[in-house]
Amino acid sequence: MSGPRERLLAERERVASRLRDLEGDHRGVVEASRDTNADDEHDPEGATIAFERSQVDALARQARHHLDEVDAALARESAGDYGRCERCGSEIPAERLDVRPTARTCVTCA
Ligand SMILES: [Zn+2]
């Protein structure tokens, strides 16, 4: 039986490690592009690298955003506001928090 704090900290660790992986991938992609003749924009290889880089960027942005959400949920938890809807102030059902530990609102207000 773990409380919301443990769950959020575990979630934070999971997302932070994913972000580290993505940032590692990003460096890998950038380095790979330096090794090839990626300066030729008609080079199909260069286009693939640009595409991969934008995919990795998008995923890293999502992960960073999610990390912010987890931190905000941890701050609410510390303040004693965790699990309360930000809009109507009613309690967010535990099943919803199981699925989305970072939920700020109840289903009705979402
Ligand atoms: Zn609500």
Tell whether the model's pLDDT for residue 96 goes beyond 90: yes
**Distance separating alpha carbons of residues 84 and 6, to the nearest angstrom:** 18
Chain centroid to Cα 95, Å, comes to: 21
Average pLDDT over residues 20-42: 74
How many whole angstroms from 87 Cα to the centroid of ligand 1? 5
Expressed in angstroms and rounded, the spacing between residue 67 Cα and the centre of ligand 1 is 23
| Mean pLDDT over each residue of the chain, to the nearest integer | 88
Ligand 1 ion: residues within 5 Å (CB): 85, 87-88, 106, 109
Phi, psi of 84 (to 5 degrees): -110, 135
Please tell me the distance between residue 21's alpha carbon and the centre of ligand 1 in angstroms. Answer: 36
Q: Let me know: does 73 contact 102? Beta carbons within 8 Å.
A: yes
- Residue 37 — very low, low, confident or very high, per pLDDT cuts 50/70/90? low
Between 40 and 71, the more confident residue is 71
Lowest-pLDDT choice from 27-31, 62-66, 87-91:
27-31
Confidence of residue 32 (pLDDT cuts 50, 70, 90): confident
